[in-house]
Structure 1
Amino acid sequence: MEKIYTIKDIAELAGVSKGTVDRVLHKRGKVSEDALKKVNEVLDKIDYQPNLMARSLKKKQIYSICVLIPDSANDPYWQPCIDGINEAKKEFKSFNVKVEIFLFDPTSTSSFVETNKTVLNSSPDAVLLVPLFHKEAIDAIETYNSKGIISSIFNNQLKSNTIKSFVGQDLFQSGRIAARLLDLLIKKGTIAIVHIDEDYENAIHMQEKEKGFRDYFENLESGKFEIKTFKVKHPQFKTTLKEYLESNPAIEGLFVTTSKAYQVAKIIAKKPEKKIALVGYDLLENNLEYLNNKTIDFLIHQNPKRQAYLGTTSLIEHFIFEKEISPEKLLPIDIVNTENAKDYFL
């Protein structure tokens, strides 16, 4: 069997005291350069691996992690995120870490701001949030950083030096993939990028997807495609989109940048005599219904449950196992159609 080395063994091999080895292993207190070199040489030679589990169980401090996500009552896309967070909580329930979920209204910047204030008042060790509103998210993260609170994000990309990590997809590349799919479906014609319900100027995720989408077509033969952008909000959504399509009869394809492709599908399904190619996001029940009847051609799966789980566990493992937090974790961009949709529910 492979020998398990103790602090006493390492001290004897290095010719130093057990206290010196302990200070090196736990990175506390002062150690001379000579002693540090001797201990590290022994650690390298024996390929020493600390018992992180035992170390974590000795810790008495309870770490607090707050997760801010949109309320799934407003948008069902976020329910898998809650499931992913709860899965992480269950997996690490025996350790000294508390994970608490805070919900905000995804249609309200003021709700996001107020929820962040509530979280700040609870003085957590770390915050994992969905930066749905760009400006307000930057302000919140900078405030957390000033208080020594770790900030990580998932689902939506955000550029800030104060962010510890991001878990999600490359949204620019995601837009390019959507463009490639529509290129295959219609070959030429007018395509509309449809942004639903959110403030586009403050929604980086929408902007990045559109940038990637347009970038793809800018590198194609000119004249084959015309790309338009259409922004619409409730309660006028149904009437406004219907009028838009009627006034733009040359539209052959639609790219919906959020999980609400089913709302568009419901309208174009009423005119089966004119097939409009449709690409959207996420495996919501309503989206799958229109995917199966072929009104929606493709869905891009963003795997929100996995995003939330990985974002949560990376913070938990940082505190209880002293693991480094990866600055970026990009998930694969899955393309789903009628042929493989069932595989995601096995």
Structure 2
Amino acid sequence: MEKIYTIKDIAELAGVSKGTVDRVLHKRGKVSQDALDRVNEVLDKIDYQPNLMARSLKKTQIYSICVLLPDSQNDPYWQPCIDGINEAKKEFKSFNVKVEIFLFDATSTASFVETNKAVLNASPDAVLLVPLFHKEAIDAIETYNSKGIISSIFNNQLKSSSIKSFVGQDLFQSGRIAARLLDLLLQKGTIAIIHIDEDYENAIHMQEKEKGFRDYFDQLENRAFEIKTFKVKHPQFKTTLKEYLESNPTISGLFVTTSKAYQVAKIIAKNPERKIALVGYDLLENNLEYLNNKTIDFLIHQNPKRQAYLGTTNLIEHFIFEKEITAEKLLPIDIINTENAKDYFL
């Protein structure tokens, strides 16, 4: 078995006292340069790893992490995120860390702003948030940074020097994959990118998916596609989309940039003689229903539970184990069809 070195072993190898080794390991107190060099030389040779578990149990400070994300009552996509956060809380419940969830209305920038104020009033050590609204998210993150609060994000990526980490997918590449799928299904024709219920100008995640989608077709040597964009909101969603499809009879493919592909599928399913290929996102129950009846051809799985879990544990382990926060964690982009959908629920 590989030898486990104690402070006493290290002291004997370095020719110093146990107290000197302790001061070097915990970076406290005064140590001569000669003693420091000798201890570090021994540590390098034996590849010494501190017992992080024991170190964390000695801590008395309770760290606070606030997680801010949309309310799943309004959009079921976010429930797996809440499950992932709760899984992380359960896993580390014996440690001195408190994780609190704050929910906002995904359709309201005002709700997002007010919820961030509530988080700020809680004075956490770190915040993990879904930056659904670009401008307001940047403002909130800058405020947290000014207060010395660590800011991490998941699901949607933003560019800011104040952001400590991001967990999610490459949304540009995700858009390219959706384009590739529709290219394989159609070979030619008119495709519409459908954005539902969000302010496109303030929604970077939608913009990145569309950029990637268009980039794929722009690079085709023999381009035989026309790409359109259609933005639609409730409550006139059904009527407006139906009229749009009727007035554009050449559309043979649709790319829905959010988890609401089922809302589009419900409309096109009523006109089965007009076959329209459909690619969307996420393994919602309603989406799976239309995937199984072949109205939706493919779903791109964003794995929201895993995103939220990793984002939360990244911060927890930083506080209790002194681990460096991973700056970026990109998850695989999974393509789901009727043949493999069941594998994600085993």
- TM score, norm. by length of structure 1: 0.98
Once the two structures are TM-superposed, the CA of residue 18 in structure 1 deviates from its matched residue by 2.5
Aligned to 2:37: 37
Instruction: Give the whole-Å Cα distance in 2 for the aligned partners of 1:8 and 1:26.
Output: 15
- Secondary structure of the residue aligned to 2:180 is helix
Question: For each residue in 1:247-305, what CA deviation from the matched residue of structure 2 results, as whole angstroms up to 9, or x when unmatched?
Answer: 10000100000000000000000110010000000000000000000000000000000
Q: Which runs of 5+ in 2 are unaligned?
A: none
Question: For each residue in 1:86-116, what CA deviation from the matched residue of structure 2 results, as whole angstroms up to 9, or x when unmatched?
Answer: 0000000000000000000000001000101
Aligned to 2:10: 10
Instruction: Give the whole-Å Cα distance in 2 for the aligned partners of 1:36 and 1:120.
Output: 42
Instruction: Give the whole-Å Cα distance in 1 for the aligned partners of 2:67 and 2:36.
Output: 39
> Which has the larger displacement, 324-333 or 34-43?
34-43
Structure 1 residues 113 and 30: CA distance shift in structure 2, 3 A: farther
Once the two structures are TM-superposed, the CA of residue 24 in structure 1 deviates from its matched residue by 2.1
Once the two structures are TM-superposed, the CA of residue 23 in structure 1 deviates from its matched residue by 2.5
Question: For each residue in 1:124-177, what CA deviation from the matched residue of structure 2 results, as whole angstroms up to 9, or x when unmatched?
Answer: 000000000000000111111111110000000110011110000000000000
Q: Which runs of 5+ in 1 are unaligned?
A: none
> Which has the larger displacement, 47-56 or 35-44?
35-44
CA contact (8 A) 2:217 2:223 kept: no
Instruction: Give the whole-Å Cα distance in 2 for the aligned partners of 1:193 and 1:35.
Output: 66
Q: How does 1:260-279 map to 2 (within 5 A)?
A: 260-279=260-279
Instruction: Give the whole-Å Cα distance in 2 for the aligned partners of 1:243 and 1:22.
Output: 74
Q: Does 1:329 align with 2:329?
A: yes
Once the two structures are TM-superposed, the CA of residue 16 in structure 1 deviates from its matched residue by 2.4
- Secondary structure of the residue aligned to 1:164 is strand
Structure 1 residues 316 and 286: CA distance shift in structure 2, 3 A: same
> Which has the larger displacement, 9-18 or 332-341?
9-18
Once the two structures are TM-superposed, the CA of residue 118 in structure 1 deviates from its matched residue by 0.5
Aligned to 2:60: 60
Q: How many residues align?
A: 346
Question: For each residue in 1:73-93, what CA deviation from the matched residue of structure 2 results, as whole angstroms up to 9, or x when unmatched?
Answer: 010000000000000000000
Instruction: Give the whole-Å Cα distance in 1 for the aligned partners of 2:112 and 2:332.
Output: 28
Aligned to 1:149: 149
- TM score, norm. by length of structure 2: 0.98
Instruction: Give the whole-Å Cα distance in 2 for the aligned partners of 1:2 and 1:306.
Output: 34
Structure 1 residues 184 and 137: CA distance shift in structure 2, 3 A: same
Instruction: Give the whole-Å Cα distance in 2 for the aligned partners of 1:120 and 1:338.
Output: 44
Once the two structures are TM-superposed, the CA of residue 19 in structure 1 deviates from its matched residue by 2.9
Instruction: Give the whole-Å Cα distance in 2 for the aligned partners of 1:118 and 1:15.
Output: 54
Instruction: Give the whole-Å Cα distance in 2 for the aligned partners of 1:225 and 1:297.
Output: 18
CA contact (8 A) 2:278 2:295 kept: yes
Once the two structures are TM-superposed, the CA of residue 40 in structure 1 deviates from its matched residue by 1.3
Structure 1 residues 10 and 186: CA distance shift in structure 2, 3 A: same
Question: For each residue in 1:44-95, what CA deviation from the matched residue of structure 2 results, as whole angstroms up to 9, or x when unmatched?
Answer: 1112111111110000000000000100001000000000000000000000
- Secondary structure of the residue aligned to 1:37 is helix
- Secondary structure of the residue aligned to 1:254 is strand
- Secondary structure of the residue aligned to 1:296 is coil
Q: CA RMSD for the aligned pairs?
A: 1.0
Instruction: Give the whole-Å Cα distance in 2 for the aligned partners of 1:120 and 1:190.
Output: 47
- Secondary structure of the residue aligned to 2:163 is coil
Aligned to 2:296: 296
- Secondary structure of the residue aligned to 1:156 is coil
Runs of 4+ with >4 A deviation = none
Instruction: Give the whole-Å Cα distance in 1 for the aligned partners of 2:278 and 2:247.
Output: 18
Instruction: Give the whole-Å Cα distance in 2 for the aligned partners of 1:24 and 1:303.
Output: 42
Once the two structures are TM-superposed, the CA of residue 30 in structure 1 deviates from its matched residue by 4.2
Instruction: Give the whole-Å Cα distance in 1 for the aligned partners of 2:133 and 2:14.
Output: 54
Instruction: Give the whole-Å Cα distance in 1 for the aligned partners of 2:232 and 2:136.
Output: 22
- Secondary structure of the residue aligned to 1:65 is strand
Once the two structures are TM-superposed, the CA of residue 223 in structure 1 deviates from its matched residue by 4.4
Instruction: Give the whole-Å Cα distance in 2 for the aligned partners of 1:27 and 1:198.
Output: 50
CA contact (8 A) 2:177 2:213 kept: yes
Once the two structures are TM-superposed, the CA of residue 15 in structure 1 deviates from its matched residue by 2.0
Once the two structures are TM-superposed, the CA of residue 232 in structure 1 deviates from its matched residue by 0.4
Instruction: Give the whole-Å Cα distance in 1 for the aligned partners of 2:337 and 2:258.
Output: 17
Question: For each residue in 1:187-218, what CA deviation from the matched residue of structure 2 results, as whole angstroms up to 9, or x when unmatched?
Answer: 00000000000000000000000000000000
Once the two structures are TM-superposed, the CA of residue 222 in structure 1 deviates from its matched residue by 4.7
Instruction: Give the whole-Å Cα distance in 1 for the aligned partners of 2:8 and 2:288.
Output: 61
> Which has the larger displacement, 34-43 or 173-182?
34-43
Aligned to 2:315: 315
Once the two structures are TM-superposed, the CA of residue 2 in structure 1 deviates from its matched residue by 3.0
